[in-house]
Structure 1
C-alpha cells in the first residue's frame, strides 16, 4: 500500500491525537465528505490537498528523513523483542515519537501497532487497551505485515490478562499471516515461543512441546542462550506434567546452566521455582523446599516471583506438618504482598496466604468461607484447574477431620471434576 493511500489512516490518527474534528481539519481545504473518504481510504487525494492537510496538522513532508525514521523504528522494535532496560526503551520511544509527530512517514502504522507491545512491557495495560481500541477503527486498512503484528500484540494483551483461548486464536491468525510474509526467523521463533507458552497455559502439553522445539531450533542456531533457557523451562514444565521426570529435570538443569552463563538471576530463580514444583509433584518435599528457598532468599528477583515461591513454600511446609515454618512463611508472604501496588492483579497469592493463615489460627469458619465462596470460584473462573484440585482436596480433607463426610464428598467431586478438565484440555 503506497504512502498516499496510507496517508488517510495517518491523517485520522494525527487528527484524533490532536483532538481536532473532521470539520476543523477540512475547513477551507476539502468538503467534510471528501475528508471522510480520504481517512477511510476510499480515495487517493492529490499532493496539493495532502500538503494542505499536513500543514494544518503541523506535519512536514520530508522524504529525506524516511530512512532515518525506518532505521530508528527497526532498532526500537528489536528492543521490544528482547528483554531490555525499560528506561532505554522509553528514551528511544520518545525520540521516535517526536519525529512521527512532525513528519509524514510510511513507518507510522507499524510504529503505532508496536505501541501495544511497548505498553505491555511497561505494565500499562489500560494504555495498551486504549491503543487497541484506537487502532481497531482503522484496522481494515492494514496490510499483511501490519496484520501480523496487530494479531500478535493483541494476543500478547489477552495472554497478559489470562485470556488464553482468545490469545491462541489471535496467535494462529498471526501464524497464518507469517506464512505469506518474509519475516525474520527470530521473529517467527518468538511467535512460536509465545504460542508454546499459551499451549502450556491451556494444558495442551504435546502442542507446547512441539512449538517450543520449533522455537528452540532457531534460538540454538543463533546462539541466543537466554531464549534457549526460556524454552528449556517450558519443556521442563511440559515433561513434568506428563510425569517424564528425568526429561523434565534434564531441561531444567539446562535452563539453570544457561541462566548462569548469562548471569540472569530472574531466569535462574524461575528455573528454581519450576524445580520446586517438580519435586513437590514427586512428593519430595525436602528438595522442593530447597528450591523455593533459593528464590525467596534472592532479593534481586522480582517481588512477584518471590511471592509465588513463598506461596508454594507455605503449602509445602503445611503438607509436611512443619507448622512453625508455615507460620513464618505466611508472615513473610504478607510482608511481600503489602509491597505490591496492585494486589487485585495477584489476588491468588492473597487467597493462598489467607487460606493457610486461617488454618494455622484454627479459624475454620473463615477458612471454609474464603475457600468455598471466593478462592475456588476465582480459580474456576480463570480455569486454573490444577489449583482447584489442590484447594478442593484441602477443603475435603478438612471436612473429613470435622466428620462432615457429606461436605467432604462434595469437594472431592469438585477435585475429580477438575482432574477431568485437565485430562480433556
Structure 2
C-alpha cells in the first residue's frame, strides 16, 4: 500500500496546497504527482522538507507499522554523523545533526547519548562554542552512565575532560578523569580511548604543576602505545613529558623527550606542534647555556609561526629570542626584537607585552639607564588593570622602589607603598 503517498496527499489537501505549491523550491510538480500515486519513494531528507512546508511531524507520513523504517533511517543518519565527527569531517555534519534533531523522540537512550556527543564535537570544532560543547558532552556522559558500560562512555569523558583541562577547570575535569580511570580498570579498557585518558591525566597533572604524577600517567600512555602500536597524540605526549622534566631541571631527560616529539612532527602537516617543539627545544637550550642552538631552534619556530600567521607563537618566540640574546650579552638585538614585537603586536596589553617590558626594564637597570628602566616599569603599572597576575605588578613595584630608594625619591616611594598596599 502506498501509505506515504496517500498521507502526503491528505496532508497537502488539509493545508489547501496544490501540488505545484508543495513542490516549489523542493522538487518539480510531476514528482509530487508520481509520489502520491506510489510511483516513487521519497528520501528521508525530502520528507523532512515536506513536513516543514506542511507544518507537520515527519512521523505523520507513516502508519504505525512503517515507523520502524523511519527509525532505521534516523539510526543510519546518526551512524553517518558519528563517522563524520570522529574523523573531523564537518562539511555536512551540521546538516545531519539538524535532521536528527527534529526526530529526537525516535531515539533510544543510547542513540540520544551519541547524538549529544556529536553535537558537542560540532559545537567545539565548528562553532567554537566551548560552553555549549561542555553542556552537550555532559548530557551525553550522563545518559551513558545510565546504561551498561561501553567504550563510547569513555570517549565522551575524554572529550569533556580535554575541554575542561584546556579551560583550566581542573576540579571538574578531575571528577570525570577519576571516574573514567576507575572504569578503565574495572572494564579493562584499551586502545585509543585508554591512551587518550592517560594523556589527559598526564596533561591535567602537568598543568597543575604535579610533575611526578604527570610523568607516571604519561609513561603509562606511552607503554600502552608501544604494546598496541597505536600512536595516538604521541608527539604531544612527548612534548608534555619534556615540559615536566624541564620544570624539574632534568634537562637531559627533557631533551630526549623533545627530540622524540620532533620525530613525530617532522614530515607531517602538524606545523603548529612542530613549531611548539622547536620553541621548547630553544628554551631548553638556553637553560643549558647553548645560546647558538637556542637561537637556531627559536628562529625555526618563529618562521613556522609566521607561515601559520599564529600571532601568539610569533610574539612568544620574539620574547624568547630577546631573553636568549640578553643572557648572552647581545643587548642590541633585544631592542631590535622589541621593535619587531611592537610591529607584530596589535592587541590590548597581554602577558607577552608585560614580560617584554619587564625584560627591557631589567636590561636598562643593569646598564645603569635608570630613567629608561623606570619608563618600562611605569608602563606596566599604568596598565595594571589589564594584568591578571598580581605578582607581575608587585615585581614592577619592587623594582621601582629599589631605584627610588637609591635616588632617595620619597615621593615615588610613597606612591609605590600606597599602590602595593592596595593590591
Measured against the shorter chain, the TM-score band is 0.5 to 0.7
Task: Report if the CA contact (8 A) 1:278-1:288 is conserved.
Answer: yes
Deviates more, 1:253-262 or 1:205-214: 253-262
Matches within 5 A, 1:372-391: 374=384, 378-379=388-389
Partner of 1:111: 115
Partner of 2:334: 326
Partner of 2:261: 255
State the Cα distance separating 1:228 from its structure 2 match: 2.0
Partner of 2:247: 241
Matches within 5 A, 1:391-406: 400=402, 403=405
Matches within 5 A, 1:25-44: none
* Distance in 1 of aligned mates of 2:217 and 2:265: 21
- The one of 347, 350, 354 equivalent to 2:350 is 347
Distance 1:115 1:71, change over 3 A: closer
Query: Please, what TM-score do these two structures have when normalized by structure 2?
Result: 0.65
User: 1:74-121 CA deviation, whole Å, 9 max, x = no partner?
Assistant: 4234225xxxxxxxx321422431431344334333232343344334
Task: Report if the CA contact (8 A) 1:256-1:268 is conserved.
Answer: yes
State the Cα distance separating 1:248 from its structure 2 match: 1.4
Task: Report if the CA contact (8 A) 1:260-1:268 is conserved.
Answer: yes
Matches within 5 A, 1:79-228: 79-80=87-88, 89-103=89-103, 104-106=106-108, 107-122=111-126, 124=128, 127-133=129-135, 141-143=143-145, 148=154, 151-179=157-185, 185-225=191-231, 227-228=233-234
Note the aligned Cα RMSD (angstroms). 4.0
* Distance in 1 of aligned mates of 2:330 and 2:118: 49
* Distance in 2 of aligned mates of 1:372 and 1:170: 42
How many residue pairs match? The answer is 332
* Distance in 2 of aligned mates of 1:336 and 1:294: 17
* Distance in 2 of aligned mates of 1:116 and 1:333: 37
State the Cα distance separating 1:327 from its structure 2 match: 2.2
Task: Report if the CA contact (8 A) 1:229-1:258 is conserved.
Answer: yes
Task: Report if the CA contact (8 A) 1:196-1:207 is conserved.
Answer: yes
Task: Report if the CA contact (8 A) 1:147-1:177 is conserved.
Answer: no
Task: Report if the CA contact (8 A) 1:259-1:267 is conserved.
Answer: yes
Higher-Rg structure is 2
Task: Report if the CA contact (8 A) 1:151-1:171 is conserved.
Answer: yes
Task: Report if the CA contact (8 A) 1:355-1:371 is conserved.
Answer: no
Partner SS state of residue 84, structure 2: helix
Partner of 2:277: 271
User: 1:300-324 CA deviation, whole Å, 9 max, x = no partner?
Assistant: 3433223222222233333444333
Q: Does 1:65 align with 2:65?
A: no
Task: Report if the CA contact (8 A) 1:236-1:252 is conserved.
Answer: yes
Distance 1:113 1:286, change over 3 A: same
Distance 1:111 1:374, change over 3 A: farther
- The one of 295, 313, 317 equivalent to 1:289 is 295
User: 1:339-397 CA deviation, whole Å, 9 max, x = no partner?
Assistant: xxxx57x93223324444666681615514626983996236xxxxxxx6x99778756
- Whose RCO is larger (CA < 8 A, sep 6+)? 1
State the Cα distance separating 1:57 from its structure 2 match: 5.2
Task: Report if the CA contact (8 A) 2:198-2:217 is conserved.
Answer: yes
Task: Report if the CA contact (8 A) 1:219-1:227 is conserved.
Answer: no
Partner of 1:414: none
Partner SS state of residue 362, structure 1: helix
* Distance in 1 of aligned mates of 2:220 and 2:162: 19
Deviates more, 1:187-196 or 1:396-405: 396-405
State the Cα distance separating 1:275 from its structure 2 match: 0.9
User: 1:381-421 CA deviation, whole Å, 9 max, x = no partner?
Assistant: xxxxxxx6x9977875675566559999xx9xxxxxxxxxx
